Amino acid sequence: MTEWPFLTWSPDDAAAAVYDVTVPGAWEQLVEFYAGGAPSAPLTRIVALAREHGVRSLVVEQRHLDADWRSEHGAFHGRLFRRHPSVTHRWHLFASDVDPADVTRLDASTYRGYTTLRPLPATPVGATMITPPPGLDGGVRCEATERVSLFGTALQVRGMPFLSQDAEYLRCAHATLWMVLRHAHLAHGVPRRTTAEVHDAALGGVIVGRQVPSEGLSVQQMMSGATALGLSPGLVHLPGSRAEDDEAGMLTLGGILCRYVNSQAPPVVISRAHAWVVVGYRRVAAESGAGVRLWRHDDARGPYLEVADPFDEVDEAHRPWQAALLPLLPQVYVTAERAEAAGEHWFRGYVAHADPDEPIAGADLTWRTYATRSDLWLEELSDRDLDADLVRLYRLTPMPEYVWVVEAVDRAARAAGRPDVVGEAILDSTASTHHEPLLSGLIALHGGRIAHRIGPDHGQRREVRIAAPRHYATGRRSPA
């Protein structure tokens, strides 16, 4: 492994360098340089994603002032005897040709994202935002939109933030916390946090080893750090084997994780020796019936990696999936599992009294659960082919900032790719969790011909009847 002499990291004062990465060997030479001749799985994965997206030009900002790297540099790397530059390089990926003579003329429609390169051999990959791979098209993804300004051109990229550890100041636990916090900043308005803030927020408590240089974090430190930085995390244990998963009922591994991906709350999975972020899933056909395929950001291996089988991991570091840290917002007190149990309870009463010709009466039902901002959910009702009286009932229902929505889903309609919702329960995300199943948390409920809402102050019930109940589209927000 080679290190760069301090003064050669920025070879000149040019604002940028442009590379035609369609030239054979171009990517390999770039990886060789930025990884210092050592293997870098995250950087190799980023190049693979760029190739999937048909990237033709790489524009390298040669003096990018990255807030995260500067925070790490001030706290650790700038204190070392061997100097490291305080500036980074940033790759910008374009699926079009860029004129090296004029980088102020860029085609924003072909922008596929960026990755920040730290001056650290073997662990160069810093803050990264790349468009999800084609394999996740049509899937459910945790992601947000980031605006990037490059030499006077406004660019946008939609994806899930990624960061790799440096194996000294930052370890996998810090990287996963940074990812979920950066996503929460972009998607939900949580304050932006630097990597050094993440590191410091997780200090103390139940430690597993030295803190600086870091030997990793305990689960308690991760929970404490997430709380200190603006989240209200939960923790749930995951089934440790396929047999346990089959017996787990509502608390199946896929069921738990998908509820939070649905809610734009990317869960952090913790094994005996590692941690990673689940960022998306797709429903797939399986020999034993429908199932889901998960994708993860693994700071040691790269972004958007498909998980073949959580119960048969190839890499020892991923075995077993022990627990999931759930990065809920402070406005959301109720967990997905409690919300779904309450929604199913209320639906069962409706189904028992439904007429035989109603879609909800004869359907093989399952549940789709997600948390969402109530204002956005209400604004998009008209796009879902709901009955007009039902839309009006919902829009005139007082709701908290965030609600849990539990949709009653017709399995057959879902398998056929048709609109599959036959009803939904809307629950208060701040309801008391002492009483089960959230008896005071129901805001509104629809199933078949009947829908009603309950006033929050006087408990007044208002009901509407749907003349011709039908299937309609989910209200879970799809990736743009």
Per-residue pLDDT tens digits for 392-430: 999 999 999 999 999 999 999 999 999 999 999 999 999
Residue 284 burial (CB < 10 Å; 0-12/13-18/19+)? exposed
Mean pLDDT, range 10-32, rounded to an integer: 93
- Confidence check: pLDDT of 150 > 90: yes
Query: What letter represents residue 232's amino acid?
Result: S
pLDDT of 7 reads 67
Going 207 to 210 to 212 to 217, the CA torsion angle's sign is: negative
Inter-CA distances, 73 with 31, 189, 231, Å = 23, 26, 26
Q: Looking at 101-105, 143-147, 396-400, 440-444, which range is the least confident one?
A: 440-444
State the Cα torsion 163-181-107-304 to the nearest 10°.
50
pLDDT surpasses 90 at 347? no
User: Tell me, what's the pLDDT at 289?
Assistant: 45
Q: Where are the beta strands (DSSP E) in 273-412?
A: 275-286, 289-298, 302-307, 323-326, 365-373, 402-410
| Higher-scoring residue by pLDDT: 348, 332 | 332
- 140 in Cβ contact with 56 (< 8 Å): no
Over residues 161-181, mean pLDDT: 97
C-alpha of 166 from chain center: 22
Task: Name the pTM for this structure.
Answer: 0.94
How big is the chain by its Cα radius of gyration, in Å?
Answer: 24
At residue 121, the pLDDT reads 87
- Using CA atoms, how far apart are residues 110 and 56, in angstroms rounded to an integer? 10
* CA–CA dist 293, 50 (Å, integer): 22
